[in-house]
Copies of this chain bind each other. A is one copy, B any other.
Amino acid sequence: MLALLDHAPTYGYQLRGLMEATLGDPWVVNIGQIYSTLSRLERDGMVIRQPGVKVDVEDRTVYEITGTGKAELGQWFRQPLSRDYRLRDMVYAKLVLSHLSGSVSTEEVLQAQRRQLLNEMHEVTRMRAEAESKSDLPWVLLLESAVMHLEADLRWLEVCEARLEDLDTLPPPQFKGRPRGRPPKKK
């Protein structure tokens, strides 16, 4: 939102439309969230509102980015994003936990996930072809990213499957609760 306001001041309702036009369907948010986020941004000094500004003959509550907001935005742009959230991967958690819980077989979880990924791959490549025919470059790039990560997931599942037996031979993780009290001096 700060980036959009940096491009040009606008009002809430239009911000939502710009967001969709700029970033595509996946970023469509509930309109209410636009306003609540604008309030928070205003609270934090990132934007200021210019009350009662005429836009096309009508009054709109237009917001403008402030110096603080521009600084924050610049920082956001320059600060690279960490990708290590992958370390908290839910599919990984499922596989490991299914092995522990035994209420379903790890194999079953893995197969279900593979089917899902193949479906999504099908869908995404279809969308990419459509985007390419429309020369919608940003959208093509995003779908390209999705394809690459789906491929990575699929290859990873292969690796996991190949080592399922190895996984079965491992002892279940233990966590022995020490008794209460100060731990004995380690050495």
Contacts and interface: CB of A to CB of B under 8 A. Distances in A.
B175 A14 contact: yes
B86 A98 contact: no
A173 B98 CA distance: 46
Give the interface size bracket for A toward B: 35 or more
Contact of A77 (B78, B104, B163, B170): B104
Main secondary structure of the interface of A (DSSP, over half): helix
Interface string A46-74: 00000000011010000000000010011
A160 B92 CA distance: 29
B144 A13 contact: no
A22 B160 CA distance: 17
Given A7-B100, A103-B70, A144-B159, A13 B80 contact: no
Interface string A93-120: 1111110111110001100110111001
A101 B24 CA distance: 17
A14 B153 CA distance: 32
Interface in A6-60: 6-7, 13-14, 17-18, 20-24, 26-27, 55-56, 58
Interface of A: 3-4, 6-7, 13-14, 17-18, 20-24, 26-27, 55-56, 58, 70, 73-74, 76-84, 86-98, 100-104, 108-109, 112-113, 115-117, 120, 124, 137-138, 141-146, 148-153, 155-156, 159-160, 163, 166-167, 170, 172-175, 177, 179-180
